[in-house]
Amino acid sequence: MSLETRLGAGLQALGLDLAEPQRDALLRYLGLLGKWNQVYNLTAVRDPGEMLVQHLLDSLAVIVPLRRQTGGAAGRLLDVGSGGGLPGAVIAICCPELRVDCLDAVGKKAAFVQQAAAGLQLPNLRGVHGRVERVTDRYDAVSSRAFASLADFVAGSRQALAEEGVWLAMKGKRPDEEISALPADVAVFHVEQLDVPELAAERCIVWMRPVRPNR
């Protein structure tokens, strides 16, 4: 079965209706990831079929929950520890209303995202080289995928979160120990189970927001 066919089946299973140019961009992004992986060491996964599942479909699983959270409104998203753009680049392709910054401490990974943004003609995608603690811009959503513990993630990115912003952390199985270790001024308002097509492993999103006065 071709990657295109598998992607189509995965999108259908996820309830995602994407236009043909978006589907094409996703496959082109996957091709770029595979091509530049040999130079930039972007991922340990080498097989295109495995990359489709472990990277593309895994990242696509957050799109419907993210749209539900944002209501499709325009906004800014910071993807922390994005590596080669996962899930940030995928979010940028699927959600053109969001301006997505993919942040990574490794310069060549941020450079790859910049190259991908140019090659795929994604004006809403940007690769940023730096550390999250030094980010001064404010974002409506701050995401991470297997980046750090929840406590470290929110501590490092707190200053980057807009006043009414939310954190979304992609995790494997429900991280109860990490949730219990969060500071008292961070609230988990939803742990959303994800069903990733072709992936026989647990996945979830931990949605968080700062506890604000009078909330």
pLDDT at residue number 85 = 95
| DSSP class per residue in the chain | --HHHHHHHHHHHHT----HHHHHHHHHHHHHHHHHHHHH---S---HHHHIIIIIIHHHTTHHHHHHHHTT--EEEEEET-TTTTTHHHHHHH-TTEEEEEEESSHHHHHHHHHHHHHTT-TTEEEEES-GGG--S-EEEEEEES-S-HHHHHHHHGGGEEEEEEEEEEESS--HHHHHTS-TTEEEEEEEEE--TT--S-EEEEEEEE--TT-
pLDDT at residue number 215 = 46
Count of CB atoms situated within 10 Å of the CB of 128: 18
pLDDT at residue number 214 = 65
pLDDT one digit per residue (tens) for the chain, 215 residues = 899 999 999 999 999 999 999 999 999 999 999 998 887 778 878 898 999 999 999 999 999 999 999 999 999 999 999 999 999 999 999 999 999 999 999 999 999 999 999 999 999 999 999 999 999 999 999 999 988 999 999 999 999 999 999 999 999 999 999 999 999 999 999 999 999 999 999 999 999 999 987 64
pLDDT at residue number 30 = 95
Q: 188: domain range?
A: 3-210
Measured CA to CA, the distance from residue 85 to residue 78 in angstroms comes to: 11
Could you tell me if residue 162 is inside a domain?
yes
> Number of C-alpha atoms within 13 angstroms, CB side, residue 165?
21
Could you tell me if residue 215 is inside a domain?
no
| Count of domains for the chain | 1
pLDDT at residue number 41 = 78
Task: Please report, for the domain that includes residue 205, its CATH number.
Answer: 3.40.50.150
